[in-house]
Structure 1
Amino acid sequence: MRNYLKILLVVSCLGFSNISNAQENVNKTVLPKIPQQLFFCNEAVPLERLDVRESLDRELLVNTFWHSQTYLLIKRANRYFPVIEPILKEQGVPDDFKYLALIESGFTNIVSPAGAAGFWQFLKTTGEKYGLIVDDEVDERYNLEKATIAACNYLKNSYSLYKNWTLAAAAFNMGDNGMLNQIKTQKVSNYYDLYLNTETARYVYRILAIKIIYENPAASGFTIEKEDLYPRVRTSTITVDSAISDLAQFALDKGITYKMLKEYNPWLRKNSLTNKSKNKFIISIPDTNDLYYKAHFK
């Protein structure tokens, strides 16, 4: 009996030890690693500098451990990057700028406290400056294709001022006038050397962090399968150059609901389109068969 109790005690201790070790492994936190080298738009990030490493480390930690938000960014990127990437290429803007749009809005049509709107977060005046229509009925800041072209023109204009894409990215946040003033005042023209407001000082590092995570999610602890990603829904287009008095009826006539029409054309801001200027607008009509899970994952 005593031998049995001794054996039971040993087995129990081993069991508790294994549970403790397993729990320790579960609770072990793996910190994100700074890569050995990193480029933004083929411009080297000076990772040999402590201040640069620590600034990047901060954004990596924030994005790595804010799991719900980062998972959503990865999922949405699968839907919208295929729209943005060919436009960037066609416009001669580096592909890395797709991450700028991602960190600007999270690929949601939010409106900032300052009034910036859409995936690229244009202010009304800036959007209009770069050719977007912004009024009560139509707000093309919410038109992904047109807003991406406007963003490309903005970025190319900034690049012509600095001859540097990293500075162009930072200027997208603080504005060219603000950036030029800081360069003039501080007498340096390297983003990593400039003393900037907190938001702009973090801005490029936020882009870099989400780029690192998106390009290798598993290395940052994000396990995501193909069927977890949000798929791109096929659409057809209709060009209109006249008024539409009732967009709900227009949608039904095209075989979709008003909700679908608004979701795929968020730039339509009211329930009608007077189109007094006779502009040509392209309306997207989703393929209703593509709106079901089975159409993408069998």
Structure 2
Amino acid sequence: MNNKFTFGLLVFLAGGVTAFLIISQLSFKEDTETVAEEQTTVSMVPELPAQMDFAGEAVPLDRRDVQERLDRELLYNYYYKPNVLFTIKLANRYFPAISERLKANGVPDDFKYLCVAESNLMATAISRVGAVSFWQFMNSTAPQYQLLINNEVDQRYDLEKSTDAACKYLKQAYDRFGSWTAAAASYNCGMGGYNNQATFQKTTHYYDLHLPEETNRYIYRILTFKHLLNNAAAMGFVLDSTDLYEPVPFREIEVTRTIPNLATFAIEHGTTYKILKLMNPWIKGRTLTVRPGRDYVLKLPEE
């Protein structure tokens, strides 16, 4: 009786050990496959382009420091996929208007990617230092480029007018430094800041200058957005045309007299105060005062 019990117990234990080993092997295999899959995913990195230019000026990608700086920005932004996808959607809406104003002002089309680097094409973007909207003009700088700011109006939020203002700055910077790349970099640190560094280091060539870290990264951020948006599908950012945000159709009304109540004005013109504000984000208040010698153009939905 005892021998039978002992034998049965041994058989039971042997079976349990065998089952444990089988389960352990299967679990280990699954864990190994999961780790391998995760490692494969993590190890996938975007390739740097073989060559690249900004506004027709070659990027010296044969230099190690240039390669590594571009690689850093590309990695950071490539894996921030929601932001890239959202930017692609917005670019379909805003790039046509931005490109039209850049062309009209004689500024290279690549500067639309500077606008992306500044604000991600968000009309409501506000920086930690108070720069606002598409081109991130400061309150103190905007009037120098004919952007009106008062209690009722802030034209930094007007896409066309702020693009024209940015063009004025960039053309001045180009005339000063003789390079669109330098002009773009100075948009981050100011013409005075860039000139101080260039004077001390005895070169205006952006890729040869040691600049504050934010400006050191700035051009590479612009280049990254140019690369990602121009090669979106090939890099895995696939959107159907129906996913893209279309430009909002509008009609324009010239306003030469004060509007005491913008909500009433909107209703009288077949829309709402909300839509009026969305289509004209440069309007701050509930009224619009039109002083002698001035006029405004409002965008309203197409009839």
TM norm. shorter chain > 0.5: yes
SS of the residue 2:297 aligns to: strand
Structure 1 residues 186, 249: CA separation in 2 closer, same or farther (over 3 Å shift)?
same
Code of the aligned partner of 1:79:
R
Instruction: Return the match for 1:53 from 49, 52, 67.
Output: 67
Query: What residue in structure 2 maps to residue 152 of structure 1?
Result: 167
Query: What residue in structure 1 maps to residue 227 of structure 2?
Result: 212
Distance 1:147 1:110 in 2: 13
| Structure 2 residue 150 is matched with structure 1 residue 135 | yes
Query: What residue in structure 2 maps to residue 91 of structure 1?
Result: 105
SS of the residue 1:209 aligns to: helix
Query: What residue in structure 2 maps to residue 103 of structure 1?
Result: 117
Gaps of 5+ in 2: 1-25
Query: What residue in structure 1 maps to residue 215 of structure 2?
Result: 200
Query: What residue in structure 2 maps to residue 190 of structure 1?
Result: 205
CA contact (8 A) 1:64 1:221 kept: no
RMSD: 2.3
Structure 1 residues 21, 137: CA separation in 2 closer, same or farther (over 3 Å shift)?
closer
Code of the aligned partner of 2:49:
P
TM-score (norm 1): 0.87
Distance 2:202 2:268 in 1: 61
CA deviation after TM superposition for structure 1 residue 38, in Å: 0.2
Q: Which has the larger radius of gyration?
A: 2
Distance 2:41 2:54 in 1: 34
Query: What residue in structure 2 maps to residue 39 of structure 1?
Result: 53
| Structure 2 residue 278 is matched with structure 1 residue 263 | yes
Distance 1:72 1:210 in 2: 12
- Number of aligned residue pairs: 277
| Structure 2 residue 267 is matched with structure 1 residue 232 | no
Gaps of 5+ in 1: 1-11, 289-298
Query: What residue in structure 2 maps to residue 171 of structure 1?
Result: 186
| Structure 2 residue 66 is matched with structure 1 residue 68 | no
Instruction: Report sequence identity in percent.
Output: 45
Query: What residue in structure 2 maps to residue 292 of structure 1?
Result: none
CA deviation after TM superposition for structure 1 residue 219, in Å: 2.5
SS of the residue 1:125 aligns to: coil
CA deviation after TM superposition for structure 1 residue 278, in Å: 4.3
Structure 1 residues 63, 234: CA separation in 2 closer, same or farther (over 3 Å shift)?
same
Distance 1:282 1:160 in 2: 32
Structure 1 residues 23, 34: CA separation in 2 closer, same or farther (over 3 Å shift)?
closer
CA deviation after TM superposition for structure 1 residue 188, in Å: 1.6
Structure 1 residues 48, 26: CA separation in 2 closer, same or farther (over 3 Å shift)?
closer
Distance 2:158 2:73 in 1: 29
SS of the residue 1:87 aligns to: helix
**CA shift digits 1:19-61 (9 cap, x unpaired):** 8799579846421111111000000000000100000001101
CA deviation after TM superposition for structure 1 residue 287, in Å: 2.8
Distance 1:66 1:40 in 2: 23
CA contact (8 A) 1:242 1:278 kept: no
Structure 1 residues 24, 61: CA separation in 2 closer, same or farther (over 3 Å shift)?
closer
Distance 2:243 2:127 in 1: 29
CA contact (8 A) 1:241 1:275 kept: yes
Query: What residue in structure 1 maps to residue 44 of structure 2?
Result: 30
Distance 2:108 2:68 in 1: 26
CA deviation after TM superposition for structure 1 residue 126, in Å: 1.6
Q: Quick check: 231-240 or 27-36, which moved more?
A: 27-36
Structure 1 residues 218, 28: CA separation in 2 closer, same or farther (over 3 Å shift)?
farther
SS of the residue 1:34 aligns to: coil
TM-score (norm 2): 0.86
Distance 1:241 1:29 in 2: 61
Query: What residue in structure 1 maps to residue 129 of structure 2?
Result: 114
Structure 1 residues 240, 43: CA separation in 2 closer, same or farther (over 3 Å shift)?
same
